[in-house]
Amino acid sequence: MTGYEGRYREADGYTIAFEKFEDGGDFTPFYQGLPDDLCQSHHWGYVVRGRLIMHTPAGDEVVEAGEAYYTAPGHTDELAPGTELVEFSPTDELARTLAVVAQNLQSDAT
């Protein structure tokens, strides 16, 4: 994914992600193939810079720089260009979700 930089650390069953999204974007298409075509991982995080919009069946939640967030499985997300965040996710849930995301990214690149 162009404009993406991520660093990860695993600790006690959680993955800690430090991520930058220079280009931003709507990540909904990357979840195709997961149940209901939605992310299947819990996330706790903090938006360092930019804006995160989480789309859920209950509605959208906008998280601005300086705000913390939680989202349950069953969401998609959209990021403003230049967004940076720190996020904590259960490693097993995240790995299953990212396996499908990686396949979708590979299909997009070909």
Q: What is the pLDDT along the chain (110 residues), one digit of tens a residue?
A: 678 999 999 999 999 999 999 999 999 999 999 999 999 999 999 999 999 999 999 999 999 999 999 999 999 999 999 999 999 999 999 999 999 999 998 887 65
- C-alpha dihedral, 92 to 84 to 6 to 73, nearest 10°: 20
Domain extent listing, the chain: 22-83
Instruction: Look at residue 1 in the predicted model and tell me its pLDDT.
Output: 67
Residue 78 structure tokens = 């959209």
Answering whether pTM is above 0.85, one says: yes
Distance CA 37, CA 18 (A): 24
Q: How many CB atoms lie within 10 A of CB 43?
A: 23
Run of H or E residues at 20: strand 14-21
